[in-house]
Amino acid sequence: MSLLKGVPVGLLGTGIALPEKVLTNQDLEKMVETTDQWIVERTGIRTRHVAAEGTVTTDLAEEASRKALSAAGVAPEDLDLILVGTNSPDTLFPSVAAKLQGRLGAKRAGASDIQSGCTGSVYALTFASAGIAAGLFRNVLVVGAEVLSRLIDWTDRNTCILFGDGAGAAVLGRVEEGRGRFLGASLRADGAKHDLITFQGGLVEYPASEETLRDGRHFVRMKGNEVFKFVNRELPPFLEEFCKSVDVEASSVDWWVFHQANWRIMEGVLRRFGVPAEKAVVNLDRYGNTSAASVMIALHEALEDGRIGRGQKVIVTSFGAGMTYGAVLFEV
């Protein structure tokens, strides 16, 4: 079963941070061999935000976190744990979460990065809600933050058109019975497909060298067609099984917050379930693929503009390098 039991856990507040610089498809036409039409038809992306020189992932994480804490009415010193989903940390260690804990002054909080590809925030939401439900924690800050633009080969049209920078944060905490709460979650991975999305250079398997630089191992590499096939094959039956395990009909879910990677994937999954496309929260056209930050940014925007309202059921789902995937169900 994927149902969450124990202490009721609710979403207390959210926030986001987006760099000022916007990179359009027309800008990319001047950089690589591509066109606005080609990008839009294959991905649905029109613009993406890119961090300014000197801005690191912790900077965006901090901005989004302070907004989320303010919205939740929770002081940093009342946090018990900080989890950051990211694939573009400032450094491998110390973690973004540890630096963020220090900047916020969250003196009582533990801190850890969750590196599970673009599914990192879904993993973090699951760990946070489970820990609170079990009575281990009272308030947990979950962040998805990325500055992937530093890890992209801007001469590779297959990857540079996809990614953007940004951060989203949410505060989870104990709530009274009868309030909206987290209802269930499920996490999966298929490590046999670990080579579909990679960043190889600079660590144990491929220590930094002239050869790794020459071979482009310090950039994100992706087997795009294989990723597309994997997601279309694995995600629909997984989500179908997940809905059954938490005892909800797909049609009764009010909003679907997908990882903002490709509109064709989102539309295909919804069509399979017979769910109107209007039930998907979509900001892919404006932000591109912000990796672990994407579902957090999309969730915040839909809550902020009132699309997601009190009493509604929401499924947040993602997939990413590993290959990992997962889903979380909650009621607002």
The secondary structure element, H or E, covering residue 148 is: none
Going by C-alpha positions, the residue among 193, 280, 198 that lies closest to residue 239 is 280
Q: Which of 25, 259, 262, 300 is catalytic?
A: 259
CA distances from 97 to 136, 162, 210, 225, 316 (A): 19, 26, 31, 33, 22
Give me the number of domains the chain comprises. 1
Q: Which of 118, 160, 243, 262 is catalytic?
A: 118
Mean pLDDT of 104-126: 98
Q: Is residue 1 very low, low, confident or very high in pLDDT (cuts 50, 70, 90)?
A: low
Each residue's pLDDT tens digit, 273-321:
899 999 999 999 999 999 999 999 999 999 999 999 999 999 999 999 9
Strands 110-114 and 81-85: parallel
Each residue's pLDDT tens digit, 165-175:
999 999 999 99
Q: What's the CATH code of the domain at 49? A: 3.40.47.10
Check residue 151 and report its DSSP letter: G
Angstrom distance (rounded) from CA 230 to CA 110: 35
Each residue's pLDDT tens digit, 17-38:
999 999 999 999 999 999 999 9
Catalytic annotation present for 139: no
Each residue's pLDDT tens digit, 119-153:
999 999 999 999 999 999 999 999 999 999 999 99
Mean pLDDT of 57-74: 99
Q: Is residue 181 very low, low, confident or very high in pLDDT (cuts 50, 70, 90)?
A: very high
What was the pLDDT predicted at 178?
77
What was the pLDDT predicted at 2?
83
Backbone angles phi, psi at 58, to 5 degrees: -60, -35
Q: 135 is in which domain, residue-wise? A: 1-332
Each residue's pLDDT tens digit, 189-226:
999 999 999 999 999 999 999 999 999 999 999 999 99
Angstrom distance (rounded) from CA 236 to CA 234: 6
What was the pLDDT predicted at 179?
86
Going by C-alpha positions, the residue among 309, 302, 291, 314 that lies closest to residue 14 is 302
Angstrom distance (rounded) from CA 223 to CA 212: 19
Q: Which of 25, 87, 139, 289 is catalytic?
A: 289
Catalytic annotation present for 49: no
pTM of the model: 0.97
